[in-house]
Amino acid sequence: MSQAYKTGLTILVVGSGGREHALAWKLAQSPRCARLFVAPGNAGTAAWNVDIRGDDFAGLADLARREGVDLTVVGPEGPLCQGIVDVFQEQGLKIFGPSRQAAQLEGSKVFAKDLMRQAGIPTAAYRVFDNKDEALAYLDQYGAPVVVKADGLAAGKGAIVALTYEEAVRAVEHIMGGGLGEAGKRVVIEECLVGQEVSFFCVCDGQTALPLLAAQDHKRLRDHDEGPNTGGMGAYGPPVFWNEDLEKTIMDSVANPTLEAMADAGAPFVGVLFIGLILTEAGPKVLEYNVRFGDPETQILMMLLASDLVEVLEACVEGALAGKSLCWHPGAALCVVMAAPGYPEKYGKGLPIVLPDLAPDEGMRAIYHAGTAWVQEAGLVSSGGRVLGVTARGESLKEAQRAAYDLVERIGFVSAHYRRDIGAKGFISRP
C-alpha cells in the first residue's frame, strides 16, 4: 500500500458496498485523513483495499493495531450487531458505531418497539408473538392490511406488508415456520402506516444527536414503485417536503428521546442513527431504526456534505458532539443504482463494465461501486446484485437527476437494470 505521507489519521472502513465506497471517497478528501484502508472493499476502493472480511473481528483488530489505525468506521449492520465495537474497544481501539447492546435498536425489532413504547416515541401500534398459533389467531381478529416483521436481522427480507388477510397468514407461516431461521422465532405484527416514507440520519455521541440529512430511498425494483423490494434502487435528497420544522419535530419526538432512553438503559448510542419514518396524517411515525449509514442514501449524504467527515466522526467517538454544526452544499443529490439483471433474485456475475473517465477534480458526480471486482484479463466486472451507484449533485433536484442519468448513459454495462424514475416522487410528493 503506497500512499503519500500526510500528517493526520489512519482510518479503516469496514464493508464492501456502495455506502462504503462513498464513505471512503469522502474520508479520503479530508486533510485529517493520512492513510485509508477499506476491508474488504470493491473495485472502486481498490487503492485502499485489504483482504479481510467484515466478520473477521480478530483480523480487523490485528490490522488496526499493526497499522496504527486511529479510527475505524463500520458500514454494515452485521458486524455492529455481532459486537465489533465491543471487541475493538476492549483492545483500546477507537471505532465509530454502537456497542452490541445499543445495536439491538436494529438487531431486534421487539427491543426497538418496546423502547419506543416506553419512551412515548410515535410508531405503528403493534403486538409481539413467539407462538405461531397465537399470531394467527390475532390475525383472525385484526384482518388486513397489516405488516408482519421478523424480530431479528433478515437482510432486508424480514418485513412483509400484507394487503390481504391471506398474505398476512402466509407471512406468519413463512417467518415463524423457519423461513428466516432464528430471526423469525418472534414476530412483530403491526399497523400498516400510510404516507411518504423518508430516511432521516443523525450522528450521535451517546448524549447528543446531530442531524445529518433526510433522503428518500426507492426500494421497489421497477419504476412507479412496482415489483419486489430490494436493498434500494436509488435515492435522492433532501426530499422536497423536508423543512426545519419537520426536522425539529423529529429531533424532539424521536431522535432525542431515543438517545435518552438508550442512555437510561445503560446502552448509550454512538454512531449513525438512521430513522425510517412514514409521514402520516397524524405526524411522523417511526417504521424502524437502523444503527448505520443507509445504502444508497449515504451516496447522497456524502455528495452533499461540505464539512469534514473525519472531524464529525471523531467528535462522536470522543463524546464531543455538543455545539458542533455541519455545512451542506446547496441543492440536491440523486443516486441511480445499476443492478445486475435478475437482481434481487438470482443474478449473473462477471458481467463486463466499462466506465467513462471523470475529471479528477470532479466533486459534483461520482460512480460509487458496490458489487464490482477487477479480474485479470476481463477487467472490471460485476460481482454482486447492486453494482454501481451513479450519483450527481445539482442546484436543483431536476439538475441532479439530469446529471445522474447523463452519466448512466455513458456507462458501458449493457444488461444493467436500473429505474428510470429515481427522484420523480420528489416532484409530486406532498405528505
Instruction: Confirm or reject binding of residue 151 to ligand GLY (CB under 6 A).
Output: no
- Number of H helices and E strands in the chain, helices first, is 14, 20
Residue 361: helix, strand or coil by DSSP? Answer: coil
C-alpha cell belonging to residue 339: 443492478
Residue 20 or 190 having the CB closest to ligand AMP: 190
Residue 274 or 413 having the CB closest to ligand GLY: 274
Instruction: Confirm or reject binding of residue 290 to ligand GLY (CB under 6 A).
Output: yes
Instruction: Confirm or reject binding of residue 287 to ligand AMP (CB under 6 A).
Output: yes
| Region from 30-38, 55-63, 292-300, 398-406 binding ligand GLY, contact rule CB under 6 A | 292-300
Q: If contact means CB under 5 to 8 A according to the sort of partner, which of ligand AMP, ligand GLY, none does residue 151 touch?
A: none
CA distance 138 to 92: 48
- Beta-bridged to residue 374, according to DSSP, are 380
C-alpha cell belonging to residue 267: 446502552
Contacts of 106 by beta carbon, 8 Å cutoff, 6+ apart: 77, 80, 81, 112, 153, 288, 289, 290, 291, 292
CB of 189 to ligand GLY, least distance (A): 21
CB of 293 to ligand GLY, least distance (A): 7
CB of 426 to ligand GLY, least distance (A): 16
Residue 70 or 190 having the CB closest to ligand GLY: 190
Instruction: Confirm or reject binding of residue 190 to ligand GLY (CB under 6 A).
Output: no
Instruction: Confirm or reject binding of residue 124 to ligand AMP (CB under 6 A).
Output: yes
* Residue ranges of E strands in 218-264: 220-222, 226-229, 234-237
CA distance 105 to 121: 13
Q: If contact means CB under 5 to 8 A according to the sort of partner, which of ligand GLY, ligand AMP, none does residue 76 touch?
A: none
CB of 229 to ligand GLY, least distance (A): 10
Instruction: Confirm or reject binding of residue 190 to ligand AMP (CB under 6 A).
Output: yes
| Residue from 22, 36, 147, 310 binding ligand AMP (CB under 6 A) | 147
Instruction: Confirm or reject binding of residue 205 to ligand GLY (CB under 6 A).
Output: no
Distances (CA, A) of 382 to 42, 121, 411: 10, 42, 13
Backbone angles phi, psi at 304, to 5 degrees: -95, -20
CA distance 116 to 368: 35
The CA-to-CA distance between both ends of the chain, in Å, stands at 49
Instruction: Confirm or reject binding of residue 372 to ligand GLY (CB under 6 A).
Output: no
Closest-CA residue to 189 (of 124, 238, 262, 108): 124
| Residue from 15, 184, 232, 385 binding ligand GLY (CB under 6 A) | 232
Contacts of 256 by beta carbon, 8 Å cutoff, 6+ apart: 209
User: Using CB atoms, what's the residue nearest to ligand GLY?
Assistant: 294
| Residue from 77, 288, 297, 308 binding ligand AMP (CB under 6 A) | 288
Q: If contact means CB under 5 to 8 A according to the sort of partner, which of ligand AMP, ligand GLY, none does residue 197 touch?
A: ligand AMP
Instruction: Confirm or reject binding of residue 297 to ligand GLY (CB under 6 A).
Output: yes
Residue 362 CA to its chain's centroid (Å): 24
Tell me which residues touch ligand AMP (CB under 6 A).
124, 147, 149, 158-159, 161, 190-193, 197, 219, 276, 287-288
Tell me which residues touch ligand GLY (CB under 6 A).
217, 232, 290, 294-295, 297
